[in-house]
Structure 1
Amino acid sequence: MSATELVRARRATAATFALVGAISAVWVVRIPALRDKLDLSEAQVGIEVLAWGAGALAAMHFAARLMAAHGSHRVLRYSVPAAVASLSLLAFAPNFPSLAAGGLVFGALFGLVDVAANAQAAELERASGRPLMGKMHAGWSLGAVLGGLLGAGTAAAGLGFTASVALAAVLALPVALFTVPHFRAQDPADAEREESAAAGGPLPRVIYLLGALMFCAFLAEGSVADWSSLHLHDSLGVSEAVAALGYPVFELAMLAGRLFCDRVTERVGGRVLLAGAGLLAALGFAVLTATEWVGAAFVGLALVGAAVCVVVPLTFSLAGLAGGTRSAAAISRAGMFGYSGLLLGPVAIGFIAEHWSLRISFSVVVCTCLLITVGAVRLPDLRVSHRPQDTDKPEPRAPGTASPTNQGSTPCQGLSRK
């Protein structure tokens, strides 16, 4: 693949992350409007989130085999436009059963896009010889900020849930079609090895620990995405338009953190970074839970965003490295663990809020964030290293160093102790 094609593939993949972040943000920040439109209870809102998560997890179960057989680029070519189109199922749902069914379909397509986009990003990391996952996930955060602002703007303009989500789909579809021809096709030899290994033995144990850390981070992210606007609106008494700004503030902090994620990981190592992220996220949720002042609540959301932003891209990248020739299977398995947090967490918060309050629900998330720190100390100090696989020119190297082709490698290259 030429340097120009590699750049186009990186841009298309980053655009995909941004696109999915945007279409996800639009509908979650308008959950209060959705609740009012269909007269939903907190428990029914939780069930809708459950349907979305169940669809995503079901799709992730088959994503590794689909990518092994067809490549992440082909999966993305079909699933990205379909995911955008499926927003209409949410926008025009006339009742709760049809909303839950639409959430199931949207979640399934989201799951396919997410796993395939992360697999595509991992392939681009190997091809370009440098970490990219943090910046790819920064694309998600940028898209979520833009989508959240669009949702807040439509709320301020008096548009309902249907008009807001339908408008987002119309705006997103041209971007989805732009990405289609530019994804990087997998090398035939790599594809053959991936397909033959798709039904192989157990994956390295570190992948399951990485998936557990991802679970906690996604639970925290899902709690903010699905419940922060309701908390700001119901507990602190702000308007719907102001409440809708909570999620963009959270994602803006995530965006800022992810722009520096790759650089910080290489300097301090994954264990230190993950441990600190867990502590800072717990502090942010504690502020959000305890405060009665909306300004402090926004500070708490920003702290959570700045903290958890590093966990998901780092664990996805490391899972891809640890999986070796089964990188797609490793990413899919870790993603299934992670998105279980999005599946179970917001639903549990909904039922706790139904019987007690959202403040008590967020107190539970404080403990979950602390588990990230506990899990991080059980990892080796993580340093992500990459070497180009298929550039047009040989990798530059200092005089007297060994040729990259003569250096040993292992399936867990990049996972090392200091």
Structure 2
Amino acid sequence: MSSNAPTLAGAGHPDPKTGDRRGATLAFAVQGVSVAAVYTTVPAVTEHLKLTPLLTTAMMVAVALTAGGGSFLGLAAIRRAGPVATMRGAMLTAAATLVLIGRAPDEATVICAYVLFGLAIGALDVGVNTRAAEIERAYGRSVFGSFYTAWSVGGVVAALLTAGAARLEWPVADGLTLQAGIVLLLVCFVRTHALSAPRAPSGPAVEPSLGRRLWVRLIPFGLVLLVVYVVESTVSAWSTVYLRQTLSASLTVAPLAYAAYQAGTVIGRATADRLVQNLGTTSVVRMAALLAAGALAALAAAPNWPLAVLAAGAAGLGVSVLAPLCLASAARLSPAASEAVLARLNLFNYVGVITGGALSGVLGSTGHFRLAYAVPAALVVLVPASARHFTRPSSPPRKENVPRTL
């Protein structure tokens, strides 16, 4: 946290960490809404513009690729303007691209819109995770899970809105415009909080040297994050299409698998911080991985859409805690350069998204969506082997060094 932040603390004054945490929570919710709005409308956009399955797959891969680039753009923006300004700019860009995707008149326009969305979401991703790592250090205990809970709540709301818009037979443009309006509303609330800068530099900015040993220590976290986002992209990007094409669900019902998945992540992430305190990070990671593997196997074998929706919810419950615990543990490897660590760790994130999205899209376009969920189930079984590398905050909460006089 900034060295200036504690000046607000003291008797009769709110803890500045509270405002910081509230603003970061809203930013995570914006990211959840934006991602869900894009992924759950893929079938509607595809049918509206009469896109081929191969082009749809290529667009989802393009989103992941550009998000990787957006992560490094976000890193550059954080170093120049700080994570809060970076988050705000990325959120406004995401809102604009939602409208553009919905109202795109042709293939070229919608491809450009998806690419721009990827850049925005990548920049937002590194911004919110950097901010979350700083706030967790200020609290001295696990709070990362609460931020990702907000991400998942946003995803549930957006998925249900997509289903509702389809039920009312709204054009996809109107549904995505509504989602963009929600994003803009949340951005306005973020602006009302006087968020402190993460660190107040006393001289020219100098990038800390991360060293080769640190990157070796990052490998276990990167591999876990890769597996997590193979699962995430497979469920998020393609569960709606899976229900629509393989299980013959309607456009109204198809987004419910994504909603159930995100509902499961809400429950998992809402309890993650307490579970870490009671059971330890290693045990939580192992239990979550085994639950996710079983749920994905059930999703692959689901005979109808109601069972697929339940399995998606269980998968979300298991997978949900892995990413926040992974990012939090990695950020603690070098607190002075957490934004650089997280930006580079995000490469594993987007490799996983690309791998999962492309593999699922190719298998789906050839009529083998069930196999697309069986493969990630086998990968998740490997996650417990890396659990011993996960840590939790060990230092007690820091007291604000401010005279308590009035």
Q: Take 1:381 and 1:330, find their aligned partners in 2: how far apart are those partners? A: 15
> Mapping of 1:9-408 within 5 angstroms?
9-182=20-193, 183-189=195-201, 195-198=205-208, 200-202=210-212, 203-376=214-387, 379-380=388-389, 382-389=391-398, 391-392=400-401
Contact 2:45 2:102 in 1 (8 A): no
Contact 2:37 2:176 in 1 (8 A): yes
Paired residues in the alignment total 390
Rate the CA distance shift 1:326–1:36 in 2: closer, same or farther, 3 A. same
Give a deviation string over 1:204-229, Cα, whole Å, max 9, x none: 42222212111111111111111111
Contact 2:210 2:334 in 1 (8 A): no
Letter in 2 for 1:277: A
Letter in 2 for 1:143: G
Secondary structure in 2 aligned to 1:171?
helix
Rate the CA distance shift 1:192–1:150 in 2: closer, same or farther, 3 A. farther
Rate the CA distance shift 1:31–1:98 in 2: closer, same or farther, 3 A. same
Q: Take 2:35 and 2:67, find their aligned partners in 1: how far apart are those partners? A: 13
Q: Take 1:290 and 1:171, find their aligned partners in 2: how far apart are those partners? A: 36
TM-score, normalising length: structure 1: 0.88
Q: Take 1:68 and 1:31, find their aligned partners in 2: how far apart are those partners? A: 34
RMSD: 2.0
Q: Take 1:37 and 1:386, find their aligned partners in 2: how far apart are those partners? A: 54
Contact 2:65 2:350 in 1 (8 A): no
1:44 Cα deviation after fit: 1.5
Give a deviation string over 1:370-415, Cα, whole Å, max 9, x none: 2323333xx3463333444573569xxxxxxxxxxxxxxxxxxxxx
Q: Which residue of structure 2 lines up, in the alignment, with residue 404 of structure 1?
A: none
Secondary structure in 1 aligned to 2:180?
helix
Q: Take 1:131 and 1:186, find their aligned partners in 2: how far apart are those partners? A: 18
Rate the CA distance shift 1:89–1:208 in 2: closer, same or farther, 3 A. farther
Structure 2 unaligned residues grouped into runs of 5+: none
Letter in 1 for 2:380: C
Q: Take 1:382 and 1:9, find their aligned partners in 2: how far apart are those partners? A: 23
Rate the CA distance shift 1:288–1:56 in 2: closer, same or farther, 3 A. same
Contact 1:152 1:245 in 2 (8 A): yes
Contact 2:242 2:364 in 1 (8 A): no
Secondary structure in 2 aligned to 1:322?
coil
Q: Take 1:12 and 1:313, find their aligned partners in 2: how far apart are those partners? A: 18
Q: Alignment identity in percent?
A: 26
1:129 Cα deviation after fit: 2.6
Give a deviation string over 1:133-176, Cα, whole Å, max 9, x none: 10000000010011111111101110122111112112321221
Letter in 2 for 1:145: V
Of stretches 224-233 and 354-363 in structure 1, the one that deviates more from structure 2 is 354-363
